[in-house]
Amino acid sequence: MHIRIVRYAIKIGYDGSHFNGFAMQPGKKTVEGEILKRLIKTKMIENRKQCKFQYAARTDKGVSAFGNVIALNAKVNPAKVLQGMDDIWVTGYAIVEKNFNPRHASYKIYRYYLPNEGYDVEKIKKAAELFEGEHDFSSFARKDSRNTRRKIYRVEVKERKAGEVIKIDFIAPSFLWNQVRRMVAALAAVGKERASIEDIKEALNGKRVNFGLMEARNLVLLDVIYDIKFKRILPGQLAVKKEIYKDAFDYISNATHSWNVGFRKSVE
């Protein structure tokens, strides 16, 4: 009996602090390397080339993702064998056309979590508006980058109720390498009055300005959007991690130190 080979798009998330980036590197633990290792070990595929493995975003070392997308050809749904991996989780899948390439997305959403260390949030919001539209982002890219013109649909700056963290979302069809981290560095400089809104205007008008580079660990690829519908999966592993991190934050912020008091009273 002939078993039809189907192309699958799989939405994945991962904790970037446990990997040396997404793309395969000899002798290093990467997201792509761990996924391919699992697929080959379970005989889901023979090798990378045979299954036409592709991905939406090549995130750097330390960068996490909630909704990166991989695509490959397989006889059965690969999402099943990828569930339960350490620090990688499947959040959805879709059957797609044979020529589907995850790099050709409608747009991507990156979010940077900026610890609020006395920033002027209103100034950051005003500066963020300057990035919207099409600009030459040469000041926010490597010096050897060729085509540095990019279009950004929207930049949203949100502050958590307690004010400890500023969340900055960047929505665009594509980004230059390290572009988001450099833009956040510029916004942070404005928020601390180390740079002005005029400095960002000049940088977007061709003047070379170095605002620095923010650390990778606070950057997350939030989602990659296509004109296709993914069947959602809620990974149990992620639900457990959510509770662990929530309890850790509550404990550190003294919200649940009463556990200790309550336990001690019960045994005294």
Among residues 190, 211, 194, the alpha carbon closest in space to that of 137 is found at 211
Query: HSE of 3 in the Cβ direction (CA atoms, 13 Å)?
Result: 5
Residue 96: its H or E element: strand 88-96
Active site residue 223: no
Choose, from 60, 87, 136, 169, the residue flagged as catalytic.
60
On whether the CB atoms of residues 22 and 58 are closer than 8 A, the answer is yes
CA distance 140 to 117: 23
The bridge status of strand 6-14 relative to strand 64-74 is: antiparallel
Query: HSE of 219 in the Cβ direction (CA atoms, 13 Å)?
Result: 23
Among residues 178, 248, 41, 207, the alpha carbon closest in space to that of 196 is found at 207
CA distance 217 to 39: 27
Whole-angstrom CA distances from 149 to 8, 107, 163 are: 32, 16, 34
Strand partners, 156: 169
Whole-angstrom CA distances from 268 to 106, 127, 263, 264 are: 62, 58, 9, 6
User: Which residues are designated catalytic?
Assistant: 60
